[in-house]
Structure 1
Amino acid sequence: MRLRVPPGRAGRLWLRRRLAVLQHGLAVLDRKLRILRQERDRLAHHATRTGQEWEAACRAADAWSLRAALLGGRRAIRLADDGRLAEVRMDWVDAMGTSYPARTSFQAPEEPGPATPLPLTAALVPTRDACRTALHAAVEHAAAKEAERIVSMEEETTSRRIRALRDHVLPRIEAALTEVEMSFDEMERADGARVRRVIASREPRQQ
């Protein structure tokens, strides 16, 4: 699509201003892209680590759950579930206009009081703790993966925007400015030639 440039010298000034704004915008986007890439690398490393911790916690919870089931039966595990829920809170941060989860707060259910009946098997207590640890690790990993996904999407969006500006918008403005500058150069040369002809016509002729 051809740019609608104002006529005359106003058009040249308009193009120069647009070119300056575009170049400044590209510099800002380049800086944003570098920051996003660094943050995405950090978040990817964090997601890998939390994933490994979650897998290890799940293995431990599975082992303790199996042990409790073998010692007390599945009924003992069902009776140990009192229906209380853990509380999870997620705090978000902002990086270059992009919000993503950064910190999680995990609050496990309160410990049973002294009036609570004793578990059917002693393995239920470490099983409960292992399952809470696995749940906490799952929350941390879910937040880390979501943060990585959001920042990766913003990185890709910013990269596409930069390519579109550099490959399409910038060449059109530069070409239009070059065309305007050349037309002004031609007019200035033509005006100069006319002035020289007028001066030459007014000079006294040699006798």
Structure 2
Amino acid sequence: MNGHGRRALAGRAGRLRLRRSLATALRGADLLERKARLLLDRERAEHRAAGEAGLAWRDRLAEADTWLVRGVMLGGERALTEAVPAGRVSVEVRWDALMGVRHPAAMDWTGPVRSPAEPTPPNTALAHAETAYRAAVHAAAQYAAHRAAADLLAAEAERTRQRVRALRRHWIPRLRSELTSVEVALEEAEHEEAVRRRWAASRGAG
């Protein structure tokens, strides 16, 4: 095989590889854009849920503080000490994954349980305060879970958008440019080969 033939073969193989690489890059960019959209949709939902939980947290906390002041005014600080159960809050996070991003999906919360031996709140105001504080802690846990999920999803969405930009602005244009150069070179080689064959045929006929 002569030099023109070897260059044409290498060019055709290179053109095939570039076409495959370009198709792969385009599919990859499309898939990454879809991933980013899904992540942003979930991030917005988690952000809204965090906002609602945050409002509930602040409302319940303000309510609890109001009842606490009334309860202390009625029974004194000693009544407050007696009203606090000895148990602790238990919080368990349940995780989920979206497009490979692991994030909090739900929060299981259990308030402190008062044993039969422990005294109950000595007045109604402190009983209301206890209920409101339990609701505030639960809302705070929900807020923390939704906020963490929103942050994790937003961070991965941004990384995904950066990868898409790298493909769309750099890698794909580079592949297209290389493919164009190879195709132009192939056209020139094929034209030269056609001219050489016509020349050889005319020499043979002569």
TM-score, length-scaled by structure 2: 0.89
Structure 2: state its 5+ residue gaps.
Answer: 1-9
Match of 2:118 in 1: 116
Match of 1:185 in 2: 187
CA distance in 2, matches of 1:107, 1:59: 21
Deviating more after overlay: 49-58 vs 182-191:
49-58
Cα gap change, 1:67 to 1:112, in 2 (>3 Å): farther
TM-score, length-scaled by structure 1: 0.88
Q: CA deviation at 1:142?
A: 0.8
CA distance in 2, matches of 1:61, 1:118: 17
- Secondary structure of 1:100's partner? strand
- Secondary structure of 2:114's partner? coil
Structure 1: state its 5+ residue gaps.
Answer: 1-6
CA distance in 1, matches of 2:166, 2:145: 32
Q: In the alignment, residue 161 of structure 2 is paired with which amino acid? A: S
CA distance in 1, matches of 2:62, 2:173: 57
CA distance in 2, matches of 1:74, 1:138: 26
Match of 2:92 in 1: 89
Answer yes or no: is the 8 Å Cα contact 2:71–2:126 preserved in 1: yes
Q: Deviations over 1:29-51 (max 9, x none)?
A: 01111111211221121111111
Deviating more after overlay: 10-19 vs 87-96:
10-19
Q: Deviations over 1:115-167 (max 9, x none)?
A: 33354433222211111111001001111111111111111111111001111
Match of 1:20 in 2: 23
2:63 to 23, 41, 60: 60
Asked if 1:176 corresponds to 2:144, the answer is no
Q: In the alignment, residue 21 of structure 2 is paired with which amino acid? A: R
- Secondary structure of 1:184's partner? helix
* Aligned-residue identity in percent: 36
What RMSD in Å do the two structures reach over aligned CA positions? Answer: 1.6
